[in-house]
Chain A
Amino acid sequence: MTKRNPDYDFKWCPGCGDFGVLRALDKALEERCEALSEPIENTVFVAGIGCSGNIVHLQDGPQPYGIHGIHGRTLPIAYGVKAANPELNVVVAAGDGDFLSIGGEHIGPAARRNLDIVCVIMDNGIYGLTKGQASPTTQLNVITSTTPLGKLDEPENPLELYLTNGVGFIASMVSTKPKDITKAILAGIEYPGLAIIHIQSPCTTYNDTYSLLKGDVKNGIEPLAIDLPESHDSTDYDKALTIARSNKIPVGILYSKKGSQSMNQKIATQKQSTNAPQRTVDELLTTLSLK
């Protein structure tokens, strides 16, 4: 339930990682609107289906526009919004099931178009809303309701997938550090092209990975999530790929391609250079006239 919507009966579980992401996102939008003196109505929030997609209804601050569409299609919807109005600030919010499984086919095209949007991906390694089925990022051998004997399919490596599909800006985050997420989201919005903020956002009910991410150094358990060193050169693609392929989850801005030109920039440049004639319907009909 939210202040603006008393009939809304959706709730995240206590401790859900998505709370941290929501805080970070609210803060990022607030800061951006302030910095640019831009109305919140200039932002369109394109949400996927799943626990995380409900973030579009849960903001308590000033409301941006939203599309809470169908499962897996955030990226093409965002493409249409940007094609229609390049001035809008478009933020995609989706989970690992929505973005990487049913919607995985759209990542490559969106990267090649280089949509000037930021995607906030909440990865809990499970289908939470449908009560605990294996997702692409569920680890090997994990028992879920669809993998009762343990998961056999190799887990997806999202960061590697993004890099090899040509995504130009990639940040890897954990939901417990909302300040870092806010910064990453703002940097992603700033980046002229497709930016993905991939966040480990544990599901306390079906796949609680908090302790795994954090580790327990006293008891000799190394954390899975490791901050990227200050010296990390985020413009180095090969380095980013090596880190993505390591067995740790990096935390920080993994990759930021230099010289990126967004879809709308490319369109504007091409329009200018080719100067294709715009003909009215009347002129077009005249080319077909028998007179």
Chain B
Amino acid sequence: MSKNLIVRFAGEGGQGVVTASEGLAQAAAQVGYHVQTFSTYPSQIKGGPTLGQTRLSTSPILSAGDGLDVLVALDEYAYEYNKDELFDDGLIVYNSKEFTLDLPNAIGFDVDELARSTGNALSANMVMIGAVAGLANMPAKYFTEFITKRFDRGRDNDQAIIEANIKALSLGMKAVKDSIQALPEMDPPVSTNADRVLIKGFEAACLGALAADLDVFIGYPISPATTMLTFMQANLIGDNKHVGQASSEIESITSILGAGFAGKRSMTSTAGPGLCLMSEGIGLAWMAEVPLVVANVQRGGPSTGLPTKTEQSDLLMALNPGHGDMRTPVIAPGTVEECFYAGAHAISWAETYQGPVILLSEASLAERQQDIPRPDASNIDIAKRVVVDNKNGDTPQPRYLGEELTPFPIPGNIGAYTANGSEHDEQGDTTHLGKWHVQMTKRRFNKLKLLENDIYESENEDAEILIVPWGGSKGPAREAYDQLVADGEKVGWAYSMFVHPMPPNMIKLLLSKKLIVVPELNYMGQFASYLRTMKINAEPITQYTGLPFRKSILANNIKELISKELAGTL
């Protein structure tokens, strides 16, 4: 019996390999398995090497997995490109129409031919899923239920499609039935009464923002952040709500700034190149103290870089997106579940301190589909902007009075001022006098204290060495940590999605340690360098392949780093 199954469907873009992996995830999650998907594809509409991966488990899943139990290869390139990731006892299912493999652990059949024989050529996905189900000895009923639910769409041909897909499933299962190869049978799912949702990272982030009463979303299409814009187009609906497509990221940022100035909770989404174009606008929001949220879904950079691959290389830019003295609040969720709370917190933070907030996501996290406990927005204290109150008809105090946060005047109401990108006096009028620049600079930084919280995780706090990942590397880092602890290494763990301002007690903890090990997906060790500015002795473990970390490699690298530290050769 097995507790884990990792399956990769690989082929060309447009062949449905991602759909197959998501179908497998959906079906398995519905019967009670924990699931997590991972996909990667090139930047083109059709064609190019694409893969969709699904991990099933009887316990909660931290990462996409360390290797493959099954590789479904739709063409020879897909086989060659992915075969090295198979576990020693892994199996290959290949499309015999495209190529042949003479290997004891390979099973071939003509996927498309089987699909066509059902009368519905589009059922090729289900043939592949059937083959996987057959190899893992999973009962057909897990999947027939899923098929019935999925294609029951109130259309005339629903029944025909359902029947064809169920047939495709059984043909796939039959195709591997006579094979001498089989995987250890999957443990049955652990039934649970808890309410869970199957959700992608970007959906969770968007829903979190909606839970925090987002009003206005304006964005420009860019991989891998477009999904947030299209989600909002479909779901940010209602009186006084607005969703729009800008003509560039310069328009996105300045238009949500206009909306934030007019009193609305406003947000945009983008990726690295777009964040570059937003630089000046984010500076304006910081300077003029206008609340807004920029969700930046990181991809490989710089420049156009690797548009569809994952990386954690925008951190330093997120912290300092504009020129001059500024440091943006940054929230970087590490799991799909955290994406929801990060979305809500980001809106809440912008409202609280009246300025720009960056929600820093990553390609692999945004696209990851996972079962999580149903998020509950009532867990978060969602702040609303402190606004000028004119109940007594008093003359309101000047907009930028003093060195701390002041109530926000809403256009249409008393308290008119100028939101100014030039340095300004307390009413917002331009000035070149040093005294105002000193006062306003202090004011802008003082407000950050309002965001400090105590939300972080830690374990084995007594250890002299802590593993402290950030963002989407949390999962693989946690798996590596668990393994290191099991191996008897004396290491501890600390993590927070609040990158800036970081929980003060977490900073204290990190400062007290001999070494902080930071696994991160970039060349420069950006989070480690950020920690070092706080005099924390941080060393990065970097990877910049466009892919997430894998536990075993990461655990080895951490071990190596620790032994160097202990030998005094670091």
Residues of A within 8 A of B (CB): 2, 4-5, 7-10, 40-42, 44-46, 49, 54, 56-57, 63-70, 73, 76-85, 87-88, 105-106, 108-109, 267, 276-279, 281, 284-285, 288-291
Contact = CB atoms under 8 A, between A and B. Distances in A.
B250 A65 contact: no
Given A68-B418, A68-B430, A69-B257, A88 B30 contact: no
A80 B420 contact: no
17 contacts: A7-B425, A8-B431, A41-B414, A41-B416, A63-B416, A65-B416, A67-B420, A79-B251, A80-B216, A80-B256, A87-B412, A105-B250, A278-B238, A284-B207, A284-B210, A289-B195, A290-B29
Nearest to B236: A278
Given A41-B411, A277-B237, A80 B262 contact: yes
A5 B203 contact: no
A80 B281 CA distance: 13
Nearest to A4: B427
B414 A80 contact: no
Nearest to B206: A284
Contacts of B242: 83-84, 267
A40 B377 CA distance: 39
B412 A41 contact: yes
Given A73-B254, A87-B412, A281 B244 contact: no
B354 to A, nearest CB: 15
Contacts of A81: 258-259, 261-262, 411
Contacts of B262: 44, 80-81, 84-85, 88
Contacts of A84: 215-216, 242, 258-264, 266
B311 to A, nearest CB: 28
Lowest 4 A-B CB distances belong to which pairs? A80-B258, A66-B418, A84-B262, A80-B255
A77 B436 CA distance: 25
A54 B430 contact: yes
B195, B258, B412: residue with the most chain A Cβ atoms closer than 10 Å: B258
A57 B260 CA distance: 21
Contacts of B238: 278
Majority SS at the chain B contact face: mixed
Given A9-B431, A69-B284, A76-B254, A281 B377 contact: yes
A80 B418 contact: no
Contact of B255 (A2, A68, A79): A79
Given A64-B416, A69-B421, A285 B375 contact: yes
Nearest to B197: A288
A7 B263 contact: no
Contacts of B377: 281
A82 B242 CA distance: 10
Contacts of B255: 76-77, 79-80, 83
Given A66-B418, A88-B411, A4 B429 contact: yes
B254 A80 contact: yes
Contacts of A82: 258
A122 B94 CA distance: 69
A5 B248 contact: no
A188 B417 CA distance: 24
Given A66-B418, A84-B263, A284-B235, A290 B196 contact: yes
B215 A285 contact: no
Contacts of A66: 416-420, 428
A66 B288 CA distance: 11
A64 B299 CA distance: 42
B520 interface: no
Contacts of B421: 49, 68-70
B433 interface: yes
B319 interface: no
Contacts of B30: 290
B350 to A, nearest CB: 14
Nearest to A67: B419
Contacts of B235: 279, 284
Nearest to B262: A84
B2 interface: no
B413 A41 contact: yes
A106 to B, nearest CB: 7
Given A84-B242, A105-B247, A279-B235, A70 B281 contact: yes
Given A63-B417, A70-B284, A77-B261, 8 more contacts: A2-B429, A54-B430, A79-B244, A79-B255, A79-B258, A109-B246, A109-B247, A290-B195
A261 B535 CA distance: 59
B237 A278 contact: yes
B442 interface: no
Contacts of B281: 70, 73
A247 B248 CA distance: 34
B430 A83 contact: no
Nearest to A58: B429
Nearest to B415: A41
Contact of A40 (B237, B416, B428): B416
B251 A109 contact: yes
Interface in B198-247: 198-199, 203, 207, 210-211, 215-216, 218, 235, 237-238, 242, 244, 246-247
